[in-house]
Copies of this chain bind each other. A is one copy, B any other.
Amino acid sequence: MKFCSYCGAAVVKRVPPGDSLPRWVCDQCGIVHYQNPLLVVGSIPVFEEKLLLCRRAIEPRYGYWTLPAGFMENAETAGQAALRETLEEAGARIELGPAFSLVSVPLVNQVHLFYRARLLDLEFKPGEESLEVALFEERDVPWEQIAFRTVGYTLRQWFADRAKGSFGFHSHDISAQ
Protein backbone atom coordinates (compact mmCIF):
# COMPACT_ATOMS: atom_id res chain seq x y z
CA MET A 1 0.00 0.00 0.00
CA LYS A 2 1.21 3.47 -0.85
CA PHE A 3 0.05 6.90 0.27
CA CYS A 4 -0.33 10.35 -1.26
CA SER A 5 2.50 12.68 -0.20
CA TYR A 6 0.15 15.68 -0.60
CA CYS A 7 -2.89 14.58 1.40
CA GLY A 8 -1.97 11.29 3.10
CA ALA A 9 -4.79 9.24 1.48
CA ALA A 10 -4.12 5.84 -0.13
CA VAL A 11 -3.09 5.97 -3.80
CA VAL A 12 -4.06 3.48 -6.52
CA LYS A 13 -2.29 2.51 -9.72
CA ARG A 14 -4.36 3.39 -12.80
CA VAL A 15 -4.07 5.16 -16.14
CA PRO A 16 -4.93 8.87 -15.67
CA PRO A 17 -7.13 10.60 -18.31
CA GLY A 18 -5.07 11.48 -21.41
CA ASP A 19 -2.20 9.23 -20.34
CA SER A 20 -1.12 5.84 -21.68
CA LEU A 21 0.65 4.28 -18.67
CA PRO A 22 -0.56 3.29 -15.20
CA ARG A 23 0.53 5.78 -12.50
CA TRP A 24 0.09 6.11 -8.76
CA VAL A 25 -2.99 8.37 -8.54
CA CYS A 26 -4.65 9.81 -5.42
CA ASP A 27 -8.43 9.38 -5.60
CA GLN A 28 -8.88 11.93 -2.81
CA CYS A 29 -6.88 14.93 -4.10
CA GLY A 30 -6.39 13.82 -7.73
CA ILE A 31 -2.60 14.23 -7.75
CA VAL A 32 -0.66 11.93 -10.11
CA HIS A 33 2.61 10.73 -8.57
CA TYR A 34 4.96 10.32 -11.51
CA GLN A 35 8.09 8.24 -11.10
CA ASN A 36 11.05 9.12 -13.30
CA PRO A 37 14.64 7.99 -13.84
CA LEU A 38 17.42 9.32 -11.64
CA LEU A 39 20.62 10.88 -12.93
CA VAL A 40 23.86 9.51 -11.50
CA VAL A 41 26.75 11.88 -12.23
CA GLY A 42 30.46 11.30 -11.78
CA SER A 43 33.96 12.08 -13.00
CA ILE A 44 37.00 10.38 -14.51
CA PRO A 45 39.83 12.03 -12.55
CA VAL A 46 43.20 11.79 -14.27
CA PHE A 47 46.66 12.51 -12.89
CA GLU A 48 49.53 12.10 -15.36
CA GLU A 49 48.86 8.67 -16.89
CA LYS A 50 46.71 7.40 -14.03
CA LEU A 51 42.98 7.24 -13.28
CA LEU A 52 41.45 7.63 -9.84
CA LEU A 53 39.10 4.89 -8.62
CA CYS A 54 37.27 4.38 -5.30
CA ARG A 55 36.59 1.07 -3.56
CA ARG A 56 33.01 1.07 -2.31
CA ALA A 57 32.28 0.98 1.43
CA ILE A 58 28.52 0.61 0.83
CA GLU A 59 26.08 -1.67 -0.94
CA PRO A 60 25.41 -2.37 -3.69
CA ARG A 61 28.78 -3.78 -4.76
CA TYR A 62 30.58 -3.34 -1.44
CA GLY A 63 34.34 -3.76 -1.93
CA TYR A 64 34.24 -3.24 -5.70
CA TRP A 65 35.98 -0.39 -7.54
CA THR A 66 34.17 2.51 -9.18
CA LEU A 67 34.58 6.02 -10.48
CA PRO A 68 33.42 8.70 -8.02
CA ALA A 69 29.71 9.27 -8.81
CA GLY A 70 26.34 9.62 -7.16
CA PHE A 71 22.78 10.89 -7.45
CA MET A 72 22.48 14.43 -8.77
CA GLU A 73 20.72 16.71 -6.27
CA ASN A 74 18.08 19.36 -6.83
CA ALA A 75 19.39 22.92 -7.32
CA GLU A 76 22.75 21.89 -8.75
CA THR A 77 24.05 21.52 -12.30
CA ALA A 78 25.31 18.19 -13.62
CA GLY A 79 28.87 19.54 -13.46
CA GLN A 80 28.44 20.65 -9.85
CA ALA A 81 27.14 17.17 -9.02
CA ALA A 82 30.29 15.60 -10.50
CA LEU A 83 32.55 17.95 -8.49
CA ARG A 84 30.60 17.33 -5.27
CA GLU A 85 30.53 13.55 -5.60
CA THR A 86 34.25 13.44 -6.37
CA LEU A 87 34.99 15.47 -3.27
CA GLU A 88 32.59 13.45 -1.08
CA GLU A 89 33.68 9.97 -2.17
CA ALA A 90 37.36 10.50 -2.91
CA GLY A 91 38.24 13.72 -1.07
CA ALA A 92 39.58 14.74 -4.47
CA ARG A 93 39.70 18.22 -5.99
CA ILE A 94 39.34 18.20 -9.76
CA GLU A 95 39.06 20.53 -12.69
CA LEU A 96 36.11 19.38 -14.76
CA GLY A 97 36.49 18.71 -18.48
CA PRO A 98 33.85 17.91 -21.13
CA ALA A 99 31.05 15.40 -20.65
CA PHE A 100 32.35 12.02 -21.79
CA SER A 101 29.73 9.27 -21.46
CA LEU A 102 25.97 8.95 -21.02
CA VAL A 103 24.64 5.48 -20.23
CA SER A 104 20.96 4.55 -19.83
CA VAL A 105 20.18 1.68 -17.46
CA PRO A 106 16.42 1.24 -17.84
CA LEU A 107 16.22 -1.82 -15.58
CA VAL A 108 17.10 0.35 -12.59
CA ASN A 109 15.59 3.59 -13.94
CA GLN A 110 18.91 5.42 -14.04
CA VAL A 111 21.01 7.43 -16.46
CA HIS A 112 24.73 7.66 -15.69
CA LEU A 113 26.75 10.66 -16.87
CA PHE A 114 30.55 10.94 -16.54
CA TYR A 115 32.80 13.94 -17.12
CA ARG A 116 36.47 13.96 -17.96
CA ALA A 117 38.47 15.61 -15.16
CA ARG A 118 41.97 16.60 -14.14
CA LEU A 119 42.99 15.70 -10.59
CA LEU A 120 44.46 18.88 -9.09
CA ASP A 121 46.63 17.35 -6.34
CA LEU A 122 47.38 14.05 -4.59
CA GLU A 123 45.69 14.96 -1.30
CA PHE A 124 42.74 12.61 -1.95
CA LYS A 125 41.42 10.31 0.78
CA PRO A 126 38.38 8.01 1.09
CA GLY A 127 35.08 9.60 2.16
CA GLU A 128 32.44 7.77 4.22
CA GLU A 129 31.24 5.75 1.24
CA SER A 130 34.71 4.55 0.17
CA LEU A 131 37.11 2.00 1.68
CA GLU A 132 40.08 3.31 -0.27
CA VAL A 133 40.96 5.60 -3.16
CA ALA A 134 43.86 4.93 -5.50
CA LEU A 135 45.41 5.83 -8.85
CA PHE A 136 45.68 3.16 -11.55
CA GLU A 137 47.68 2.84 -14.71
CA GLU A 138 45.74 1.11 -17.48
CA ARG A 139 47.51 -2.23 -16.96
CA ASP A 140 46.61 -2.22 -13.24
CA VAL A 141 42.89 -1.46 -13.50
CA PRO A 142 41.00 -4.18 -11.55
CA TRP A 143 38.65 -5.03 -14.45
CA GLU A 144 37.19 -8.06 -12.66
CA GLN A 145 36.31 -5.94 -9.65
CA ILE A 146 34.59 -2.96 -11.29
CA ALA A 147 31.33 -2.25 -9.46
CA PHE A 148 29.03 -1.27 -12.34
CA ARG A 149 28.79 -1.90 -16.07
CA THR A 150 28.31 1.84 -16.67
CA VAL A 151 31.74 2.39 -15.12
CA GLY A 152 33.35 -0.49 -17.04
CA TYR A 153 31.94 0.91 -20.30
CA THR A 154 33.17 4.41 -19.48
CA LEU A 155 36.67 3.21 -18.57
CA ARG A 156 37.01 1.12 -21.74
CA GLN A 157 35.90 4.05 -23.92
CA TRP A 158 38.28 6.39 -22.09
CA PHE A 159 41.32 4.15 -22.63
CA ALA A 160 40.31 3.56 -26.27
CA ASP A 161 39.98 7.30 -26.88
CA ARG A 162 43.30 8.02 -25.18
CA ALA A 163 44.97 5.41 -27.38
CA LYS A 164 43.51 7.20 -30.43
CA GLY A 165 44.68 10.56 -29.09
CA SER A 166 41.18 12.01 -29.41
CA PHE A 167 38.35 12.07 -26.88
CA GLY A 168 34.70 12.01 -28.01
CA PHE A 169 31.31 11.76 -26.33
CA HIS A 170 29.82 8.29 -25.96
CA SER A 171 26.19 7.23 -25.53
CA HIS A 172 25.27 3.71 -24.59
CA ASP A 173 22.40 1.58 -23.25
CA ILE A 174 22.76 -1.27 -20.78
CA SER A 175 19.77 -3.56 -20.91
CA ALA A 176 20.73 -5.77 -17.96
CA GLN A 177 22.89 -4.84 -14.93
A residues with a Cβ closer than 8 A to B are 2-8, 10-11, 18, 21, 33-39, 71-80, 98-99, 102, 104, 106-107, 109, 111, 113, 128, 168-169, 171, 173
Contacts of A72 in B (CB 8 A): 36-37, 111
Q: This chain: how many copies in the complex? A: 2
User: Residues of B contacting A34 with CB < 8 Å?
Assistant: 71
CB distance from A53 to the nearest CB of B (A): 23
Please state if A75 and B39 are interface contacts (CB–CB under 8 Å): no
Q: Are B73 and A21 in contact (CB under 8 A)?
A: yes
A3 CA / B4 CA spacing, docked (Å): 7
Nearest Cβ in chain B — how far from A99, in angstroms?
5
* Residue of B whose beta carbon sits closest to that of A35: B74
Complex Cα distance, B7 from A109, in Å, reads 23
- A109 surroundings in chain B (CB, below 8 A): 74-75
Q: Which 6 pairs, one residue from A and one from B, show the smallest C-beta to C-beta distance?
A: A77-B104, A169-B169, A3-B8, A74-B109, A77-B173, A78-B104
Neighbouring B residues of A73 by C-beta, 8 Å: 21, 36-37
Q: Is the CB of A102 within 8 A of B99?
A: yes
A-B contact pairs, 24 of them (CB 8 A): A2-B5, A3-B7, A4-B5, A8-B8, A21-B73, A34-B71, A36-B72, A36-B73, A36-B74, A37-B39, A39-B39, A72-B111, A74-B109, A75-B109, A76-B106, A77-B106, A77-B173, A78-B102, A78-B111, A79-B171, A98-B169, A99-B102, A102-B102, A168-B169
